[in-house]
Amino acid sequence: MYTYLYQNCPFGPLQILSDGDRICSVGFAPADSSTESTPDSLCLECARQLEEYFVGKRKSFDIPLKMNGTDFQKKIWETLIHIPYGSTITYGDLAKMAGHPRAARAVGNAMRKNPLWILIPCHRVVGTADLGGYGGPDGTPIKRRLLLLEGAIRTEEKA
């Protein structure tokens, strides 16, 4: 059985979804987020860790994750989890690290399908000439704010 929790963050309301054993998704809350749920302890722990992250007190997460995707997507996401806080990497470099050196475009597609926003830090993947794209309602401005929070870019750097 799934439980979920709605949590406010600096970018709007998030929905955290748990299957009781692992966090299945973290993303922007749907428009009809008025439905009630009694969150389990894992949802509550995830919310606590996200709050710490957003105020700069947490640099990594230690919650069990359920990665639903293709084998390729899972390989990309598992590789991405190891990109340190405050660092960035290009789509091409991530493709190489994951053992698929010619798959930079496919890496971008895997990033778009990431169900675990922030926990799998796709905001740390950038283009060679700019920040690259980012999902969510405000896209690239949110990516910029996350990278600023982590100190990966400075305010005067161009997007």
Q: Is residue 159 part of a domain?
A: no
Q: Which residues are tagged catalytic? A: 122
Q: Read off the pLDDT of each residue in 114-135 and give the average, rounded to a whole number.
A: 88
In this prediction, residue 159 carries a pLDDT of 45
User: What is the pLDDT of the chain when averaged over all its residues?
Assistant: 89
What range defines the domain where residue 10 resides?
Answer: 3-54
Q: Read off the pLDDT of each residue in 117-121 and give the average, rounded to a whole number.
A: 94
| Same domain? 11 vs 44 | yes
CATH number where 136 lies: 1.10.10.10
In this prediction, residue 134 carries a pLDDT of 75
In this prediction, residue 148 carries a pLDDT of 93
Q: Is residue 65 part of a domain?
A: no
CB neighbour list of residue 107: distance below 8 Å, 6 or more residues apart:
76, 91, 92, 94, 95, 98, 100, 125
In whole angstroms, how far apart are CA 49 and each of 7, 13, 16? 12, 15, 12
Percent of the chain whose predicted confidence (pLDDT) is above 90? 69
How far, in Å, CA of 30 to CA of 142, rounded? 17
More confident residue, 136 or 19: 19
Helix (H/G/I), strand (E/B), else coil: 77: helix
Q: Is residue 61 part of a domain?
A: no
| Predicted confidence (pLDDT) at residue 138 exceeds the cutoff of 70 | no
Q: Read off the pLDDT of each residue in 108-126 and give the average, rounded to a whole number.
A: 93
pLDDT tens profile 18-33 = 999 999 999 988 776 6
pLDDT tens profile 36-86 = 778 999 999 999 999 999 999 999 999 999 999 999 999 999 999 999 999
Q: How far is CA 42 from the centre of its chain?
A: 17
| Same domain? 36 vs 98 | no
Q: Read off the pLDDT of each residue in 104-113 and give the average, rounded to a whole number.
A: 92
How far, in Å, CA of 134 to CA of 114, rounded? 11
Q: Is residue 156 part of a domain?
A: no
| Same domain? 50 vs 89 | no
Q: Is residue 64 part of a domain?
A: no
Q: Is residue 137 part of a domain?
A: yes
Count how many domains the chain has: 2
Q: Is residue 60 part of a domain?
A: no
Q: Is residue 108 part of a domain?
A: yes
| Same domain? 131 vs 93 | yes
In this prediction, residue 131 carries a pLDDT of 84
